[in-house]
Amino acid sequence: MNSRSFWWGFKVSSVKRIALSGILIAIGVIFNKVVQIGYPYIPVPFVRIAFGGPALIMLAGLLLGPIYGAFIGAMVDVLGYFIFDIKTFGFFPLITLTYLLLGFFAGILFGFIIKLKDKKKMQIIMYSILALVLVAISLVIVFSDNIAFIVNSGYKFDLWMKIAFPIMMFALYVMMIIFMQIADKKIKNDENRVFNIYQIGFASFLLDFFIMCLFGSLMKGLSFSMDLFLVILITQFMTMFFTIPFNTLLLTTLDPIIRKFGK
């Protein structure tokens, strides 16, 4: 695939763009709010493992560009709130801004990612940073008796949590590496693919790490209370070990759609 495979080379009519936007918004709301789970033992507001919602926002930016991606990302969060969360929480525009930027930067980032051909460098950067995050979170959990999960109160780390959480994250980390290796071997001979598995994984990692984890945690801290920032950040990083492999798998599976738009 050449550079025409990206949003700035897509020959898509305005009607088709609007129709696709509506479809992605509708499916994105369902995936982001329904196909998701919370942390049963960690009552952190607005930190959930959403299976597919962020990936569809990334896909929107990839296919339609940063402006459409930003609009779709924002609408997924706004409509999701008014349909599913309006009786539970107030509306927080700063959280919506996170999803807006996710779609916006996805529309920009994938244009640069296709130029990256060195799989080893992408692997080293991604796996090294994730390993450092894994070690840092594990140390905090193991050597901290409690963290303020709710303002003016604390949540105690039981012994089983200190053992189970680091083991779970390490297992997910190893599974992610194995998944990337196996998936790469299965699709490496397909020359018609727009992106290889490491390009998709690396883009998902960058967007998840900088937008959803760092920026998103800050926005949630400002929305609720900065006393919650540390625990939101830790929990968001834990979520990343689920979402990166899932988003990579989903976007890889949707490659035929991306390929179709590149024609």
* Cα distance between residue 6 and residue 114, in whole Å: 9
Q: How do residues 221-259 score in pLDDT, each as one tens digit?
A: 898 878 778 878 888 888 888 889 889 988 888 877 777
pLDDT at residue 128, rounded to an integer? 95
Contact partners, residue 262, CB within 8 Å, separation at least 6: 1, 4, 5, 6, 9, 10, 194
> How far is Cα 47 from Cα 88, in angstroms, rounded to an integer?
14
CA atoms of 181 and 230, how far apart (whole Å): 33
User: What is the model's pLDDT at position 153?
Assistant: 46
CB 209 within 8 A of CB 243: no
pLDDT tens readout for residues 33-76 = 877 766 655 555 566 777 778 999 999 998 888 999 999 999 99
Q: How far is CA 22 from CA 19, 30, 63, 73, 99, in A?
A: 5, 13, 14, 12, 16
Q: Which sequence spans correspond to the domains of the chain?
A: 3-261
Q: Which of 120-129, 182-191, 252-261 has the highest mean pLDDT?
A: 120-129
| Average predicted confidence (pLDDT) for the chain | 82
Give the three-class secondary structure for 226: helix
